[in-house]
Structure 1
Amino acid sequence: MKFTIKHESSHRMRIHMHAYRMTYEQADTLLYYLHQAKEISYVKVYERTGDVSIEYIGDRQNVIDLLQQFHYDEVDVPTGLIENSGRELNARYQEKLIGKVAFRYLGKWLLPYPIRACFITANAIKYIKNGVQTLWQRKIEVPVLDATAIGVSVLRNDLDTAGSIMFLLGIGELLEEWTHKKSVDDLAQSMSLNISHVWIMQDGKERLICTSDVKQGDQVVVHMGNVIPFDGLVCAGEAMVNQASLTGEAIAVRRVAGASVYAGTIVEEGELTICVKEIGGSSRFEKIVTMIEDSQKLQSQLESKAEHLADRLVPYSLGGTVLTYLLTGNVTKALSILMVDFSCALKLAMPISVLSAIRESCLYGITVKGGKYLEAVADADTIVFDKTGTLTKAQPKVVDVVSFDGREPDELLRIAACLEEHFPHSMAKAVVKSAIEKNLQHDEMHTKVEYLVAHGISTTINDVRVIIGSYHFIFEDEKCIIPEGKEALFESLPPEYSQLYLAIDGKLAAVICIEDPVRQEAQAVVNSLRKAGLSKIVMMTGDSERTASAIAKKVGVDEYYSEVLPEDKASFVEAEKAKGRKVIMIGDGINDSPALSAADAGIAISDGAEIAREIADITIGADNLYQIVTLKMLSDNLMKRIRKNYRSIVGFNTMLILLGVSGVIQPTTSAVLHNSSTLLIGLKSMQNLLD
């Protein structure tokens, strides 16, 4: 691709791509291409001018070569990235904003007064009509106040004031609509599916393939705890499916052969084979957008109170206008109240603050499904951590396979991986990864795999029952025994590792030792959260007392509980809430889902089980627990901003009313100052909370 370097400094350059005009799709393709390069640390593409700003590390020539090799049609862009990028949305609203401002001031300077008067009067009819419709519905709300202010100004032939009011109201509406759409689209995009591989049924056997290779009509197998990746019809199996991601209802519904299922819903119990009907992701994205826009999840309690207060203040503003006129007989002083209202600013600033915070959280790799969850995090005084994959590293590692039945360790690892690859858990992933690294290939050699939450997995191989899971599952539930003469070997197992037990035909066959080290930042994160106001920090795990005790001491939690079941975690959360505490739960597994759902704010790790991510209210990245601290800071700052906005709006507008009633300023000045302050507060509410 041909380009010209327009400007260059140390490890920075601005280039111009040689093209007549860059389309939105081309701009997003180029942005994706450059983002994938390890040499590029920052890039921004300007589609209108065809320019690209680049910051890079390393050798300049590598960047030049990278740009020379670029061709739009040779870049394999992930499905949905261009469609949901938001570039076209931003450009459209920027043009609307510039057009509205240009029309306002050019019209004021260039149009003759009679034409301008006709236009303002015609535009005022829309607001007056809206106010009359609101009154017809027996409501006295903001549209009534706007209609009255504009209508009285027109009747008094004060068209400049009427035009100013309508212009600023239009700018405010446009900014609110733009921010809302952008924030909702960002949120919906982050909630979109991110499934790279799926199981398909071919010739009676399950085979793992890339999602991009799936075709319409393929039969996809979805195991318990996994997300359904495509819209389709159930052709085999029976399951309870959680459809909260589309409907908002958390109650699972039964799905059997012939029933329709939708991408993004979760198999809570059972297993389904689905005939794929729809492959594209746009329908899923649109469903999420609709669900978010219709849901009250976006609204925090403070935001809701502000909106209700805004509507409740309208009658007082109208009453104050009438009372001032009756007492003073001065229309100008009465209009000073009418030109100023609290509602407009309250209704604009609060939603923008919340939606901007949700957008900003996405910049830090945090997905928040609604404003009320940010408020819950800000108010929380208790946080409950799962251990595995949360306080410990998200990628545990197999360090040893101890054989108890005479088979080779690699053969036992191959059997274990054959079972574990069907289920999303960090321990299971460790087993599968170890088998792949040792090139232990296998065909599906077992019958139907059954997953028992927080216990383990069972199946049948060559008519022999094979199970893998926790000590409690293998020895207490299933009553398996240690082979004779192997007791000493069992007692000598290293205590510093987590252990998975594999039993075949009722006898222990292998113990898989897994290194699950504590995250380096875990102790610092716990201390930071305590300083941020969380007075009770708890760890809950299904691991043994010995392992739990060591981890709890290392990270510094206030309390810990070992060998707990999923219902124990959920019961603990409910008990804390019953005491009046606000609870955050953070986990990554299927067994954490009940507690995530029960908490005031449930936080899932991004590479954890799909069901945990879908049920959780917030998702953070797997790389660094400091994102929880960042989330807490964002939430606290958002609540401070909302309260500050409330005080500023009430204080400034009260001052304007007093100045107007006392005759210090004219209604026109009151209107301009009021609307200007509303616009400024709205713009300030769009700024990032963390610098």
Structure 2
Amino acid sequence: MKAQRFIQQHQTQLTLISAVLIAIGYIGKYVLDATVVYNGALILASIIAAVPIMMHAYQALKVKVISIELLVSIAVIGAFIIGEYNESAIVTFLFLFGSYLEQRTLTKTRESIKSLTEMAPATAIVVDGDGHEEEVDIDDVDEGDHVLVKTGASVPVDGKIIDGAGYLDEAVITGESKAVAKTNGDDVFSGSILSNGTVTVEATKVGEDTTFGKIIELVEDAQDAKSPAESFIDKFAQYYTPAVLVIALLVYIFTRDFPTAITVLVLGCPGALVIGAPVSNVAGIGNGAKRGILLKGGAVMDDFSKVDTFVFDKTGTLTLGNTAVSTVKTYAADADLALTLVARAEQLSDHPLGRAITAYVAKQQLAFEALNVADNETVKGQGLVADIDQHHVLVGNLKLMTANQVTLSAQQNQDLADVQATGSSVVMVAVDGQLSLILGVSDVIRPGIKAQLQALRDHGAKHLVMLTGDNHVTAQYVAEQIGIDEVHAELMPEDKVTYIKQFKDGGQHVAFVGDGINDSPAIATAQIGIAMGSGTDVAIETSDVVLMQSSFDALVHAYALSKKTVINTKENILIAIGVVVFLLIGLILGFIYMASGMFVHEFSILVVIFNAMRLIGYGKLKPTPQPQAAKLSTSGR
């Protein structure tokens, strides 16, 4: 066992020694004219390089697997028998050198994934009840502990800020390097970097349970999840390797040409075929991980590439989930006065529409907090009435206006109908008996989403569907604004599952895109479940793809990446099979020999690896041009 470990740990050095001995052998023959030096150096090079190969072949045979190393081992023994020491030395060296380059290249494709684990904090500063600070190992932090994070440090836990404020770089979670302002009560994630400030965080999740811990586990598992192409190749290799042995035996039986039979063994090694699919998938998964896109393995990549129907939740997916003032119709001589009066009146209410209006007026940099409220009354089902700064203010719906003898002109009635037609919630404002404002309050459609949905179509999506619990008017308005093909509204979660099953039964390959919480049944039902969200537990565990940025740019990239990765895998398989066919034909026609064939064989391995490496830098994320955001309604007031 110790000898095996030593050989495995020093395989690179053995490869180098073998190369040096081969060089010495050829110097001995062609420079010194010393045959003894030539044969001796090549025999020694063959033995040194053959030891790790034969060791791997033996280990595979112990578990009843006929490996590529077995083919090479038999070929080397055969070369020794016929006295072709140069062939045995070159074959073993090229095999080890190819293995070395393969591992180096695979390591490179995994760098983006490995960097995740290196970012994981190892220690944390825990603050006790008396304010004493102690640096402890991350495994010793418990839920509920208070953890101090200083400028430049990594947040070691998931939790809430209970003291302090600062800007955090959450690129490790979201893939977005822009610093995010955080203060008391805000959530923070393990692995985020505090760019400035000092904060104290109450731990809610620690260790492997943190969002960052789950991401690392997810990506590591994804590397081991085989695609259909990989599974096929594994089964193919199990039968292919014994077949090559049988062919070599038949060649010897019918030709009695032992060197040719040995050459068949060497050239028949399916090295490029075995490595081609896994390296493509690892490179593709690594590409996604760098951009905050988590794809759960090669099988998911393959399924995603086949998607032709995208089904979307609305709120928080096609929209930002934030209510905002979308329409302002003004009829007062002093519009700013009307806005400040309604904002001051809405401060008396905790209604979501009121919060949207006060936020809008605050953004206009209009001061309203100091206005004096003499009297106010809430009228159930209509709105509120207030006397503010010597003005009588009505804020509510048409019923409130009618009850207070506020009449609307023909134009105002048309404006009201136009705002209602968009599905927006309507807030009407009258000052001193005259209609002053009609405000439309709605959810915000994601900026640039129409172009992003078109990009999905450009990459192969054929059908875009919205399934929402919102009302039909709002849903239809959104669909018309962004280009959705089919809309179903006022649905419960189980209704969404029913529609997805119908699409699947109709032969469509469905991806469902939602927030990963209330939509988890639909995410689990679709062939591909995609969570738009910053890594909630349900999103990570239920979905096949997690978009940490909640970005449609990331969704488009993930879809295109899956197709590119599958194409890349097929390219590698074609290259590998083509090389084997070329070598066997070359052997039959007499222009390929053992050493030259082994060189071509190892070169083909490098070709498929470097072809896969193109995926690492594939698709620089370019933000879609951001047009002015469209709006849509929330529930009525």
TM-score (norm 1): 0.57
User: CA 1:571 to 1:416, structure 2 compared with 1: closer, same or farther past 3 Å?
Assistant: same
Counterpart of 1:664 in 2: which secondary structure? coil
Indicate if the aligned counterparts of 1:216 and 1:278 stay in contact, CA closer than 8 A. Answer: no
1:108 aligns with 2:22: yes
Aligned to 1:164: 90
Q: How does 1:391-410 map to 2 (within 5 A)?
A: 391-393=318-320, 397=324, 408-410=345-347
Distance 1:654 1:164 in 2: 22
Aligned to 1:553: 480
Counterpart of 1:591 in 2: which secondary structure? coil
Aligned to 1:333: 260
Moved more, 649-658 or 333-342: 333-342
Indicate if the aligned counterparts of 2:248 and 2:264 stay in contact, CA closer than 8 A. Answer: yes
**For each residue in 1:621-661, what CA deviation from the matched residue of structure 2 results, as whole angstroms up to 9, or x when unmatched?**
64752333332322222222222222221122112112213
Distance 2:534 2:202 in 1: 26
Distance 2:118 2:357 in 1: 28
1:633 aligns with 2:532: no
Distance 2:77 2:456 in 1: 54
- Kindly state the Cα deviation for residue 380 of structure 1 after the two structures are TM-superposed: 1.0
Distance 1:363 1:230 in 2: 21
1:655 aligns with 2:582: yes
1:142 aligns with 2:68: yes
Distance 2:20 2:208 in 1: 44
Q: How does 1:577-588 map to 2 (within 5 A)?
A: 577-588=504-515
1:358 aligns with 2:285: yes
- Kindly state the Cα deviation for residue 545 of structure 1 after the two structures are TM-superposed: 0.8
User: CA 1:263 to 1:588, structure 2 compared with 1: closer, same or farther past 3 Å?
Assistant: same
Distance 2:482 2:221 in 1: 41
Q: Give the residue type in structure 1 aligned to 2:144.
A: Q
Counterpart of 1:367 in 2: which secondary structure? strand
User: CA 1:367 to 1:110, structure 2 compared with 1: closer, same or farther past 3 Å?
Assistant: same
- Kindly state the Cα deviation for residue 663 of structure 1 after the two structures are TM-superposed: 2.9
Q: Aligned match of 2:316 in 389, 392, 409?
A: 389
Q: CA RMSD in A?
A: 5.0
Q: How does 1:295-334 map to 2 (within 5 A)?
A: 298-334=225-261
User: CA 1:301 to 1:102, structure 2 compared with 1: closer, same or farther past 3 Å?
Assistant: same
1:644 aligns with 2:557: no
- Kindly state the Cα deviation for residue 110 of structure 1 after the two structures are TM-superposed: 4.6
- Kindly state the Cα deviation for residue 215 of structure 1 after the two structures are TM-superposed: 9.8
Counterpart of 1:581 in 2: which secondary structure? coil
Distance 1:125 1:99 in 2: 13
1:132 aligns with 2:58: yes
Q: Aligned match of 2:455 in 500, 508, 528?
A: 528
Q: Aligned match of 1:600 in 506, 527, 534?
A: 527
User: CA 1:653 to 1:554, structure 2 compared with 1: closer, same or farther past 3 Å?
Assistant: same
- Kindly state the Cα deviation for residue 319 of structure 1 after the two structures are TM-superposed: 0.9
- Kindly state the Cα deviation for residue 121 of structure 1 after the two structures are TM-superposed: 0.7
- Kindly state the Cα deviation for residue 327 of structure 1 after the two structures are TM-superposed: 0.9
Q: Give the residue type in structure 1 aligned to 2:55.
A: K
Q: How does 1:429-578 map to 2 (within 5 A)?
A: 482=381, 488-489=398-399, 495=420, 496=422, 514-578=441-505
- Kindly state the Cα deviation for residue 279 of structure 1 after the two structures are TM-superposed: 5.3
Distance 2:275 2:440 in 1: 57
User: CA 1:671 to 1:178, structure 2 compared with 1: closer, same or farther past 3 Å?
Assistant: closer
Aligned to 1:451: none
- Kindly state the Cα deviation for residue 682 of structure 1 after the two structures are TM-superposed: 1.9
**For each residue in 1:175-204, what CA deviation from the matched residue of structure 2 results, as whole angstroms up to 9, or x when unmatched?**
444455555563476699999xxxx9x99x
Q: Aligned match of 1:343 in 253, 270, 291?
A: 270
- Kindly state the Cα deviation for residue 323 of structure 1 after the two structures are TM-superposed: 0.7
Q: Give the residue type in structure 2 aligned to 1:635.
A: S
Distance 1:298 1:682 in 2: 19
- Kindly state the Cα deviation for residue 557 of structure 1 after the two structures are TM-superposed: 1.6
1:611 aligns with 2:548: no
Indicate if the aligned counterparts of 1:587 and 1:612 stay in contact, CA closer than 8 A. Answer: no
- Kindly state the Cα deviation for residue 546 of structure 1 after the two structures are TM-superposed: 0.7
Distance 1:146 1:599 in 2: 46
Aligned to 2:144: 219
Q: Give the residue type in structure 1 aligned to 2:349.
A: L
Counterpart of 2:453 in 1: which secondary structure? helix
Distance 1:410 1:215 in 2: 46
Indicate if the aligned counterparts of 1:297 and 1:372 stay in contact, CA closer than 8 A. Answer: no
Aligned to 1:462: none
Q: Give the residue type in structure 2 aligned to 1:118.
A: L
1:687 aligns with 2:624: no
Indicate if the aligned counterparts of 1:333 and 1:662 stay in contact, CA closer than 8 A. Answer: no
User: CA 1:126 to 1:622, structure 2 compared with 1: closer, same or farther past 3 Å?
Assistant: closer
User: CA 1:282 to 1:119, structure 2 compared with 1: closer, same or farther past 3 Å?
Assistant: farther
1:151 aligns with 2:77: yes
Distance 2:295 2:113 in 1: 7
Distance 1:304 1:138 in 2: 18
User: CA 1:353 to 1:647, structure 2 compared with 1: closer, same or farther past 3 Å?
Assistant: same
**For each residue in 1:405-430, what CA deviation from the matched residue of structure 2 results, as whole angstroms up to 9, or x when unmatched?**
x99522534x869xxxxxxxxx99x8
Aligned to 1:73: none
Distance 1:325 1:559 in 2: 66
Counterpart of 1:637 in 2: which secondary structure? helix
Q: Aligned match of 1:376 in 296, 300, 303?
A: 303
Distance 2:519 2:381 in 1: 30
**For each residue in 1:236-286, what CA deviation from the matched residue of structure 2 results, as whole angstroms up to 9, or x when unmatched?**
xxxxxxxxxxxxxxxxxxxxxxxxxx999xxxxxxxxx9969856799877
Q: Give the residue type in structure 2 aligned to 1:682.
A: I
Indicate if the aligned counterparts of 1:540 and 1:569 stay in contact, CA closer than 8 A. Answer: yes
Counterpart of 2:444 in 1: which secondary structure? coil
Q: Give the residue type in structure 1 aligned to 2:505.
A: A
- Kindly state the Cα deviation for residue 313 of structure 1 after the two structures are TM-superposed: 0.8
Distance 1:297 1:136 in 2: 23
Indicate if the aligned counterparts of 2:587 and 2:593 stay in contact, CA closer than 8 A. Answer: yes
1:412 aligns with 2:349: yes
Distance 1:184 1:435 in 2: 50
Q: Give the residue type in structure 1 aligned to 2:70.
A: V
User: CA 1:388 to 1:153, structure 2 compared with 1: closer, same or farther past 3 Å?
Assistant: farther
Counterpart of 1:516 in 2: which secondary structure? strand
For structure 2, which runs of at least 5 residues remain unmatched after alignment? 1-9, 26-36, 130-137, 147-155, 160-188, 192-200, 329-338, 366-379, 385-395, 402-415, 428-438, 621-637
Q: Aligned match of 1:121 in 23, 37, 47?
A: 47
For structure 1, which runs of at least 5 residues remain unmatched after alignment? 1-95, 204-212, 222-228, 233-261, 265-273, 418-426, 439-480, 502-511
Distance 1:433 1:217 in 2: 39
User: CA 1:386 to 1:161, structure 2 compared with 1: closer, same or farther past 3 Å?
Assistant: farther
Distance 2:42 2:209 in 1: 44
Moved more, 550-559 or 576-585: 576-585
User: CA 1:219 to 1:336, structure 2 compared with 1: closer, same or farther past 3 Å?
Assistant: same
Larger Rg: 2
**For each residue in 1:65-89, what CA deviation from the matched residue of structure 2 results, as whole angstroms up to 9, or x when unmatched?**
xxxxxxxxxxxxxxxxxxxxxxxxx
Give aligned-pair identity as a percent.
Answer: 25
Indicate if the aligned counterparts of 2:572 and 2:611 stay in contact, CA closer than 8 A. Answer: no
Aligned to 1:506: none
Q: For this pair of structures, how many residues does the alignment match?
A: 477
Moved more, 587-596 or 489-498: 489-498
TM-score (norm 2): 0.62
